[in-house]
Homo-oligomer: A and B are copies of this chain.
Amino acid sequence: MDTFDAIAGRRAIKHFDPDHTMPEADLRRLIEAAMLSPTSFNIQHWRFVVVRDPDLRREIRALGNDQAQMTDASVLIVMTADVDAWRKSPERYWRNAPKAVSDLLVGWMGPFHDGRPQLQRDEAMRSIGMAMQTLMLAATSMGYASCPMIGFDHDAVAERLNLPPDHCIGPMVAIGRGIKDSWPKPGQLPYAEVVVENRFPT
């Protein structure tokens, strides 16, 4: 599917066919596409938790305002990130680069992150955002519906997933066969309100 069609066609779908199973190859194709999303310093700190266990999905739904797509979609992916990835053998993120490039970037990576917990978290959240959108556009392009979700008890879900203490949790994405269209776009802001020329007015 053309990129612009995927961008315009992607909508948050709430109703999925619970009997549909996604072929393993499709899931892998989706996640491999998401893994091509950019990260600063090529840190690739996202960790995609693919929840298949039906009991766990029911538990998550109970912690997520009873949203049906949490159990009914073919796939439920919880977006998490390793906030400490910058100090876990970072040379591997540049292992195939020329040594001068690798030395420069790996050497800069530590000081850039060290002692800056808010920056580390911001980076994780932005990387999660970029990867999520790639996942949803790839899904749209393959004829799947998707739904990003943030309305759930983050701490409780993190605990159920055994999320390590140096990781953070972001939204979930449900992907599957949609059975009901979304409502029309509910209220797009005008271009002039979200685009600023050069500087914000004082």
Contact = CB atoms under 8 A, between A and B. Distances in A.
Contacts of A122: 121, 125, 170
B183 A97 contact: yes
A21 interface: no
Nearest to A147: B38
A7 B138 contact: yes
B4 A38 contact: no
Interface in A178-202: 183-189, 191, 194-202
A25 interface: no
Given A38-B12, A122-B125, A160-B199, A48 B194 contact: yes
Nearest to A79: B126
Given A3-B137, A28-B191, A188-B35, A50 B196 contact: yes
Given A35-B194, A50-B198, A194-B47, A171 B96 contact: no
A121 B12 CA distance: 22
A137 B138 CA distance: 11
Contacts of A16: none
Residue among A4, A49, A98 with max Cβ neighbours from chain B (10 Å)? A4
A28 B190 CA distance: 12
Interface string A83-103: 000000000111111100110
Interface in A67-111: 80, 92-98, 101-102
Nearest to A137: B3
